[in-house]
Structure 1
Amino acid sequence: MHTKLKNKKIALFGLGEAGSIIAIDMHKAGLNITAYDPKQVVIPEGINRAQTASEAATGADMVIALTAGDDALGALDQAITDIPTSALYADFSTNSASAKLAMADRAAGYGFDFVDVALMTVVPGKSLRTPVTISGTGAVRFEKIFTSLGMPVNRLDADAGEAATRKLLRSVMMKGLAAVIIESMRAGEAAGCSDWLWQNLSDEIAQADQTLIARLVIGTERHARRRLYEMECSAKLLRDLDIKPTMTQATIDSLKLVIDSGLPAIPSQ
């Protein structure tokens, strides 16, 4: 544990699922956590509840914001005049690079460090072991503190927003994959073979490695016209099953783009 934090005040904004889990783990590490959430949420044992954001932020050595993305700027502004200039403000929200830059500019205007923290996987099951990518003026400070708490930290020597950009680029695939599976399973249910389909998809994903991913991507250009016809057939099947082929149509559009413009740059394999 980071011994210098033992007698420090740490404010935490947001006691949703991720916020509560991280607050509990930090408390177990011997840290003094004062949390604020405007909702009537359950306060984890050992966590001090502040009645206002200003109360939580006043005198804090570090403020950790684990809010929803659209609440992030408001969370910073709600107590910005009460955050000491010596404090570190760590924003964990999933947000756009421009939003993170706006928050960093606000923090700079009030004289305290800001760090853009991008959670790179889900918090449940990992808590302080959740890998993060970070950037911004407070990145070095954040890295020293949280690596001592066991958090895997990938620090970018870059402005706030760069960590967020990497998170969102990853989200295009990760959330897109979830959407594709959901659409496939809706169709599988309608076709009466959802159990088989779930097992088949699970097996394919479980066996995936970098070689398979490279083959899927690189092979798309070589076999784009054949795959285009296959996906047009898939879209027709979904319509016949009364399932809207949203993701399937997106794949069709993507294949047409590959036919017209080729693949993006792919790292050498």
Structure 2
Amino acid sequence: MRLGFIGFGEAAYELSTGLRKEGVETIYAHDVMLDHPTFGAQIKERASQAQVQILATPEDVLKQVDVVIVAVPADKAYGVSEELKPHLKKDCIYVDVSASTPVVKQNISKNIEEDGVLFVDAAMMGPLPVYKHKVPILASGSGVDRFISLMTPYEMVIKKVSGNPGDASAVKLIRSIYMKGVVGLYLELLEAAHEFNVEKLVLDSLSETMDSNGFEQTMNRLVTGTSIHALRRSIELDGSIQMLDASNINSSMSKAAKEKLEQLAKLNLREKFKGQKPESWLDVIEACKEQNIAINN
């Protein structure tokens, strides 16, 4: 198995470092920034540390490899696939690890599969400096089974989502709604707690609530309860917003949450559920969808 990278940033460096230790004998790479006056030296230094052979052009890499991992910024991913397409060999596995949208991944897949290339939409689900090549990867697309077969012996942790390109990236981007969004909430509440000098009381109270059950059970309780109390909770949140504004603390996350709750209240799920909390968050999501369709029609 001959492996190559197009784009030799952090992702390629960390994966290469781990895979070389697992016995992958030769890894090739090319990066468009290779001759950059600032970043070129870093790329070459990392390649030297990881024992990766840097080649002058993408074509040189593609001539050598059976699997190419394309690790470029999301906004460059489709354009790079266009540039690489004329040089891809039939049955080569093209693995895109960018954080592109499902639509972009689908378009890349259609683009390169015309020439008999196998495509893998790979979503890395953890910090690379921690996991390196063992980072949990969700994968979808026509080349997933072969990719797993080739890379599992080198201790890569790859889970098949489906044969549909874009499905793996959808999981990652949906997960990011929480993982990135919750940081904004953390910052807002910590600023407020620090301003009022009540950090320990706030964090102890939240810890007691959030640690009492697992994530899914807590999420289910909050979503189902809010479905019938959305209006009251949006009004309560307005008090938090007024407090933040009075203290000159940015309240953008709270305002966004209040708007979401107000939208939920307009669907009148309290009446639909007859004032009784539903059993599952899925009941709430399906009811929202049904009510939105009724309103729009």
TM bucket by the smaller chain? 0.7 to 0.9
- Structure 2 distance, partners of 1:137, 1:84, is 15
Indicate the SS of the match to 2:78: helix
| Residue equivalent to 1:47 | 52
Q: Does 1:123 align with 2:128?
A: yes
Query: Is 1:20 aligned with 2:13?
Result: yes
* CA positional deviation for 1:257: 2.1
SS of the counterpart of 1:223? helix
Q: Please give the alpha-carbon distance, in whole angstroms, between the structure 2 residues aligned to 1:136 and 1:103.
A: 11
| Residue 132 of structure 1, CA deviation | 1.7
- For 1:154, the equivalent position in structure 2 comes to 159
Q: Which amino acid aligns with 2:15?
A: I
Structure 1 counterpart of 2:285:
264
| C-alpha RMSD over aligned residues | 2.3
SS at match of 2:129: coil
1:69-148 superposed matches below 5 A: 69-148=74-153
Which has a greater percent of helix? 2
- What letter matches 1:87 in structure 2? C
Aligned to 2:128, what secondary structure does the other structure show?
coil
Total equivalences in the alignment: 259
Bigger Rg over Cα: 2
Q: Determine whether 1:185 maps to 2:206.
A: no
Matching residue of 2:222: 216
Report the equivalent of 2:251. Answer: 245
Aligned residue for 1:133, secondary structure, equals strand
Paired residues of 1:232 and 1:252 also in contact (CA < 8 A): yes
Deviation at 1:198, TM superposition (A): 6.0
Runs of 4+ aligned structure 1 residues displaced above 6 Å come to none
Q: Distance in 2 between matches of 1:179 and 1:14?
A: 30
**Structure-2 residue corresponding to 1:64:** 69
Residue type of the alignment partner of 2:118: D
Q: Specify the SS of the correspondent of 1:126.
A: helix
Identical counterparts, % of pairs:
25
Task: Output the TM-score relative to the length of structure 2.
Answer: 0.79
Structure 1 residues 161, 207: CA separation in 2 closer, same or farther (over 3 Å shift)? same
2:175 to 163, 170, 176: 170
TM superposition shift of 1:167: 1.6
- Partner of 1:154, secondary structure, is strand
Distance of 2:171 and 2:213 partners within structure 1:
22
Equivalent in 254, 257, 261 of residue 255 of structure 1 = 261
SS in 2 for 1:51: coil
- Note if contact 2:16-2:133 (Cα within 8 Å) is conserved in structure 1: no
**Counterpart amino acid of residue 60 in structure 2:** E
User: Hey, what's the Cα distance between the residues in 1 that align with 2:126 and 2:207?
Assistant: 19
Counterparts of 1:200 and 1:36, CA distance in 2: 51
Please list the CA deviations of residues 118-170 of structure 1 after superposition, one character each: whole Å capped at 9, or x if unmatched. 12222221122222221111111112123333233221333211111222111
SS at match of 2:79: helix
Cα distance per residue 1:240-259 (max 9 Å; x no partner): 12122111111101111222
Secondary structure of 2:76's aligned partner:
helix
Using the TM superposition, give the Cα deviation of residue 174 of structure 1 relative to its aligned residue in structure 2, in angstroms. Answer: 1.4
Which moves more between the two structures, 95-104 or 139-148?
A: 139-148
